[in-house]
Amino acid sequence: MKAALRKGLDRILGDATATIDTIEPGSIVVAPRKPIALDDEAAITEVLDLAARIGAVLLDSGTGAIDTRSQIEFVAGIFGLDDVEVDVTFNTILVSARRGPTLPPITTVRTVHYRSLDFTRLAHIDRLVRRIRQLAITPGTAHRIVDGITASPHPYPYWFATLSWGLMALGISILLGGTALVGTTSFLTTIVIVSLNRILARIGTPIFFQQVLGGFIAVLPAAGLYHWREELDIVFAPSQVIAAGIVVLLSGLSLVGSVQDAITGAPLTGTARFSEVVLMTGGILAGVGLAISLVEAMGVTLPGLSTTSPFGRADVISSLLGGAMAAGAFAAASYAERRAIPVALGAGMLATGVVTGLAYTAAGPIVASACASVVVGLVGGLAARRALVPPLVVAVAGIAPLLPGLAMYRGLYGVMSQQTIAGFRELATAITIGCSIAAGVTLGEFIARKLKRPHLPVSLVRGRATGTDAKYLGLTLPRRKPGRWNT
C-alpha cells in the first residue's frame, strides 16, 4: 500500500516529495499542542530554528519582511512559544524567545546568502505552514520536511527554464506589436543572455555584471538587423527587441518585495531591497549604453525616438495572448508548480486586459499600470487560496508584462542622444510605473486578505480528519474505517 501511494504521489508531483505528503498517516494528530516548558532549552531551540529556517526560505523567495515575520511568529506560537521577538532585515533573521525574569532568552539567527527564483520551493513551504496550523506535526518531522524542501532540485531542467525565458521575451514582443522577425530575434537573444548569465553565476560573478552583460547582448542583434534591413528587405524596429530583453532582466528583481516592505512598516529592509533593484537596473542600463556606444562607433545608427512610441500596440487579442504568454513563461522559468502556471497565464491576461482597456480612456500609463496591478493582487490573492498557490507567485507573474522596459530604453537613448530632458522624463516615468505596480499589488493583496480569510475544514475544528479534508490539504491517505486519527 505504501509503495502504491508513493508511486501515485511521484506521478502527480514529479520529484516534489519533500513535503508533508511524505509523513506517515499514523503520526498525524489533531489535538492542541502543549506549551513548551521554559527550562527545556533543547525543545525551545528546535522550534526557534524551525521557524527561522522557514522564514529563510520565504525571504529567499522574495516574500516581504512583514509577511516573513508573521509566518515565523505563527510557527513559533503554534508550537507553544508565544513570547518571541522576530527581527527580519535584508538578509538576516533573528528570533528570540523570552523565558521569564529568571531565565535568559534563547536566540537563533539565520542568514540568507543568496536569492533564487524557485516558486515550487515557496509553494512547498507555504503548504507546510498551512499543515502545521491544521495538523499536529511535531517539530522534528517539520525539520525533516524543510531539509527535503531545501535540498530538492528544481522541478524542471535548466533547458526548460531557459526556453521559458525565451518564450517570455516572445510574449513581450507580441505585446509591443512586434512582427514575427522581432519575436524570433527576441526569443533567441534572450536564450543567449540567460545561458551566458547562468555560466557567469556558476563561477561566482556578481549579478550586477550579469545584468550588464544582459543589457549589452540585448542591443547587438537588434542593431545588426536594423543596419542590414535594406539588404535583407525587412521592416524592423530594434527598440521592440531591446525592450523585451530589458523586461526579462527586470522580471527577476524583487521590486514588489522592496516596495511592499517600505509600505507595510519595514523601511530598512525596503530601502536595502530597493537599492538592490536600482543597482541591478543600473547594470542593465549600463550594458545597453555600452552597446549603443559600440554600435555607433562602428557606424550603426539606431533610429531616434520621439516622445511617443514609433509603433502602435498590438490589437486587443494579440495583447491578451502576449501578456498571458509572458506571465505563464515567467512562472515556468521561475520553477512554479504545474498547477500555478494556468493561474499565472490568467493573471497576465487579466493585467494586460485592464491596461489595454484603460488605454481607450484618459488614464495614462502610470494609472493604468497601478489599476491593473491592484486587480492582479486582489484576484490573485483570492484565487491563490483556492488553488493552493502562494499569492506572491500570482502577483509577480501577473505584473511581468507590465514592467516598463520600453520606457527605460527610450529614456536611456534620449539621454545619450542629446535629448536629456525628454530622456530623464522617460526614466522618471519608468521608475514611477514600477513603483505604482508594486504598490498596487500590495494594495490588492491587502484587500484580498480582508475579503476572504483561509478556510479551515469544519471536521478539523471538531477534532477529526476525513478523506475530503485530506484532499483539501493535499494529503493522500489510505482507505480505512471512519474514526479519529490517533497516535
pLDDT in tens, 40-53: 888 899 999 999 99
Q: How many Cα atoms occupy the beta-carbon half-sphere of 198 within 13 Å?
A: 12
Q: State the pLDDT at residue 170.
A: 93
Check the CA dihedral 215-217-223-225 and report its sign.
negative
pTM: predicted TM-score of the whole model, two decimal places: 0.79
H/E stretch holding 475 reads none
pLDDT in tens, 236-279: 888 888 888 888 888 766 777 777 787 877 888 888 888 888 88
Q: How many Cα atoms occupy the beta-carbon half-sphere of 116 within 13 Å?
A: 17
Does 32 have pLDDT greater than 60? no
Does 216 have pLDDT greater than 50? yes
* Residue 302 backbone phi and psi in degrees, to 5: -75, 155
Mean pLDDT of 436-461: 69
Q: Who contacts 314 (Cβ-Cβ below 8 Å, separation ≥6)?
A: 174, 175, 176, 177, 322
CB atoms within 10 A of CB 59: 28
8 Å CB contact between 444 and 374:
yes
Share of the chain above pLDDT 90, in %: 16
Residue boundaries of the structural domains of the chain: 14-155, 158-451
3-state secondary structure of 452: coil
Q: Which of 307-311, 383-387, 482-486 has the highest mean pLDDT?
A: 383-387
Q: State the pLDDT at residue 213.
A: 94
In the structure grid, which three cell numbers stand for residue 310, read together? 514609433
Q: How many Cα atoms occupy the beta-carbon half-sphere of 129 within 13 Å?
A: 27
**Average model confidence (pLDDT) across the chain:** 78
Across 331-440, the runs of DSSP E, i.e. the strands, are none
